[in-house]
Amino acid sequence: MTTPAGTAADLGWSLGAVMRAYLRAVTAAAAAADVPGGPRGHQVLTAAGQGVGASQLALAQHLGVDRTVMTYLLDDLERAGLVERRPDPADRRARRILLTDAGRVRLGELEGALQRVEEELLAPLDGQERQILRGLLARLAAGAGPVNPCQVAVELEQPGC
Amino acid sequence: MTTPAGTAADLGWSLGAVMRAYLRAVTAAAAAADVPGGPRGHQVLTAAGQGVGASQLALAQHLGVDRTVMTYLLDDLERAGLVERRPDPADRRARRILLTDAGRVRLGELEGALQRVEEELLAPLDGQERQILRGLLARLAAGAGPVNPCQVAVELEQPGC
DNA sequence: TATTGTTATACTCTATAACTATA
DNA sequence: TATAGTTATAGAGTATAACAATA
């Protein structure tokens, strides 16, 4: 056993503590970069910048939030001029979410700040351990239902899944 | 790079997805075991069962919640007969939170269900990988401010920190 | 009939402030 | 004066339901 006894070995407590630290840091970074919606605003921008314009519903499932939440989130991001709601020519009910040029620039700035944030969060680990952690978490996230992340990833055109 | 490209390599997204899956499972398990407060109720019981009776404030900091939230949580847990608020002889303002016998039994039942829950969540990883993940997360959690977990751990009498 | 997105409403969770009692 | 705990209130975040447009 390399892990100490007590709560330090408790997966739930560790996850919660790391999550809180991460959310706090990203919230601060998003506020500093004037990106509405905090951590979720960041994730929407990231997803919008990768795919060819996922629907609002696909983004909501990707982030694990209700579709009504996505409406509010996108309202703020669109008002800030960071994303664009473009009608889907193949399905006039749906809207494809795309990054504007300003959004791409802003996301780049935020990513820079986030890299420093992650560095600080991962400070207790060395380079190899960080990569291992990322890999393990990614594999867990891929297997974590009930929304199949790969199904969403297909719509986001991420072949890695 | 062992991780696929795209959001799967995004630490924040992976953390969020794993966290959501974990919270959903623990919430269901706590409900099935009739433990109020869901994941937090479980963590309070765990902490109360380990130490010699931490104060409500210490528990709140340990869980990363406001002290007012802890009051409501403990109201529910006490009403369910799982914990006891005992006056601290050394400081009559404070109360030591202790598990009742019924609480110890109930916690044991919940822990059993939680072991199966974690098994399912960690299914994509083999035994060694699971231990590595637990260790890495524990180290990150220990270093994650602003509340120094070790400071709380001292009060909870956990020498591992 | 089912689905996407929006809106309005209600609900839950959490934070803020004020209070009591101790220190 | 500061702290532990409680309570009441307000606020943020989220879910529910109803609706319009489209499939």
Task: Please say if the pLDDT value at position A148 is more than 50.
Answer: no
Q: Residue B144's pLDDT is what?
A: 72
CB of A92 nearer than 7 A to strand C:
no
| pLDDT for residue A48 is more than 80 | yes
In contact, B31 and B38? CB cutoff 8 Å = yes
Give the residue nearest to nucleotide D8 (CA to C1'): B68
The predicted model gives A119-134 an average pLDDT of 95
| Mean pLDDT, residues B111-138 taken together | 95
Q: What is the dihedral of CA B129, B134, B140, B143, to 10 degrees?
A: -140
Secondary structure, 3-state, A88-152? ECCEEEEEEEEECHHHHHHHHHHHHHHHHHHHHHCCCCCHHHHHHHHHHHHHHHHHCCCCCHHHH
The DSSP code for B99 is: E
Instruction: Kindly give, in sequence order, each residue whose CB lies less than 8 Å from that of residue A9, ignoring residues fewer than 6 positions away.
Output: A1, A3, B134, B138, B160
Amino acid at B5: A
Percent of chain B with pLDDT over 90: 80
Q: Which residue has the higher pLDDT, A114 or A156?
A: A114
Neighbours of B87 (CB within 10 A): 11
Contacts of A18 in chain B (CB under 8 A): 15, 137, 140-141, 144
CA of A31, closest CA in chain B: separation in Å? Answer: 17
Nearest CA in chain A to B146: A21
Distance in Å, residue A67 CA to nucleotide C6 C1':
10
What is residue A85's DSSP assignment?
A: E
Mean pLDDT of A27-42: 95
B16 CA to centre of own chain: 17
Mention every residue, 6+ apart, whose C-beta is less than 8 A from residue B70: B44, B56, B57, B59, B60, B63
The span from the CA of B55 to the CA of B52, in Å, is 10
pLDDT classification of A73: cutoffs 50, 70, 90: very high
Q: pLDDT tier at A55 (50, 70, 90 boundaries)?
A: very high
Above 80 in pLDDT, residue B96? yes
- Tell me what pLDDT residue A38 has: 96
Residue A110 pLDDT > 90: yes
Match 């765990």 to its residue by tokens. B46
- Lowest model confidence (mean pLDDT) among A123-127, A157-161, B101-105, B132-136: A157-161
In this prediction, residue A2 has a pLDDT band, given cuts at 50, 70 and 90, of very low
A145 band by pLDDT with thresholds 50, 70 and 90: low
Using C1' positions and the CA of B54, the closest nucleotide is: D4
Angle at A22 between CA A100 and CA A42, to 5 degrees: 10
**Cross-chain residue pair A12–B3, CB shorter than 8 Å:** no
| Strand C close to A65 by CB, under 7 A | no
Quick one: pLDDT band at residue A152, thresholds 50, 70, 90?
very low
What does the pLDDT look like over B147-159, one tens digit per residue? 433 333 333 333 3
